[in-house]
């Protein structure tokens, strides 16, 4: 069972490539304390004024991790994905140091399997997930798309014709297409959660949930 952590717990980010630096910068912007680590002094200097702390060290060396206090962190992100050996070794080091939650970037399913076996709590496929999202957006069927591990999807799209200007309960969207309209956004008005009596108009945007296959089928309906 993954230990529940404080919502403001400091985060250790290892690797300041595109993914790692984006994580570190976003976490800092959210008010989290971040220690960013990279073996490149150039990258460390680039991000030193943006994140809380940035240090240059080789995270593959467990003694180097001890020196920067990695064992005191509750959560760490291993953002080194291009080198399988490095990402696995760093992940194993963090597990050996007792870091409760280790998030690790993977490039392939086999790398993900190894990371999981050495103790990573969460394995991330940023390139694959971004590719899936872009593919759905390019199809112009959806305005936004988020897929979860169990094939559960949240999508934002314009409503199909058959549910417009009628109550959601009357349209039978859930029984016909096995998707749920979660909320509705009318231009100039705040987002509102959908109810059986909610009427969707031509100007609205809807947020729907369901499986990837059902959402794709629903999004392809005439609009």
On the 0-12 / 13-18 / 19+ scale of CB atoms within 10 A, 127 is middle
Domain parsing of the chain, residue ranges: 11-124, 132-219
Strand order in the sheet with 53-56: 53-56, 34-38, 11-14, 75-78, 101-105, 122-124
pLDDT at 24: 92
Q: Note the pLDDT tens digit of each residue in 124-181.
A: 887 766 666 666 565 557 888 777 766 788 889 999 999 999 899 999 898 999 999 9
Query: How distant is the alpha carbon of residue 175 from its chain centre?
Result: 30
Q: Note the pLDDT tens digit of each residue in 26-75.
A: 899 888 999 999 999 999 999 999 999 999 999 999 999 999 999 999 99
Bridge partner list, 36: 13, 54
Considering the domain delimited by 132-219, tell me its CATH architecture. Answer: 2-Layer Sandwich (3.30)
Distance in angstroms (rounded) separating the CA atoms of residues 104 and 115: 7
Tokens 């509102």 correspond to: 192
pLDDT at 76: 96
Whether residue 219 is predicted with pLDDT greater than 90 in this model: the reply is no
Q: Note the pLDDT tens digit of each residue in 87-139.
A: 999 999 999 999 999 999 988 888 889 999 999 998 888 776 666 666 656 55
> What is the band of 2 on the pLDDT scale with cuts at 50, 70, 90?
very low
pTM of the model: 0.67
Considering the domain delimited by 11-124, tell me its CATH architecture. Answer: 3-Layer(aba) Sandwich (3.40)
CA 44-46-50 angle, 5° bins: 95
């Amino acid at each position: 069972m993954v230990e529940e952590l404080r919502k403001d717990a400091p985060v250790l980010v290892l690797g300041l490539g595109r993914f790692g630096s984006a994580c570190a910068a976003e976490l800092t912007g959210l008010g989290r304390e971040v220690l960013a680590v990279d073996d490149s002094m150039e990258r460390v200097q680039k991000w030193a004024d943006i994140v809380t702390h940035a240090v240059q060290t080789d995270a593959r060396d467990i003694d180097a991790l001890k020196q920067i206090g990695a064992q005191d962190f509750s959560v760490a992100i291993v953002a080194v994905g291009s080198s399988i050996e490095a990402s696995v070794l760093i992940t194993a080091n963090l597990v050996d140091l007792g870091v409760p939650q280790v998030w690790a970037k993977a490039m392939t399913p086999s790398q993900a399997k190894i990371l999981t076996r050495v103790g990573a709590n969460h394995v991330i496929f940023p390139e694959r997930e971004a590719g899936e999202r872009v593919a759905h957006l390019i199809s112009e069927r959806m305005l936004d798309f988020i897929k979860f591990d169990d094939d559960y999807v949240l999508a934002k799209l314009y409503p199909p014709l058959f549910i417009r200007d009628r109550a959601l309960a009357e349209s039978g969207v859930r029984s016909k297409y096995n998707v749920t309209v979660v909320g509705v956004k009318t231009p100039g008005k705040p987002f509102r959660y959908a109810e059986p009596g909610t009427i969707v108009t031509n100007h609205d945007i809807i947020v729907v949930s369901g499986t990837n296959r059902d959402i794709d089928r629903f999004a392809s309906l005439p609009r």
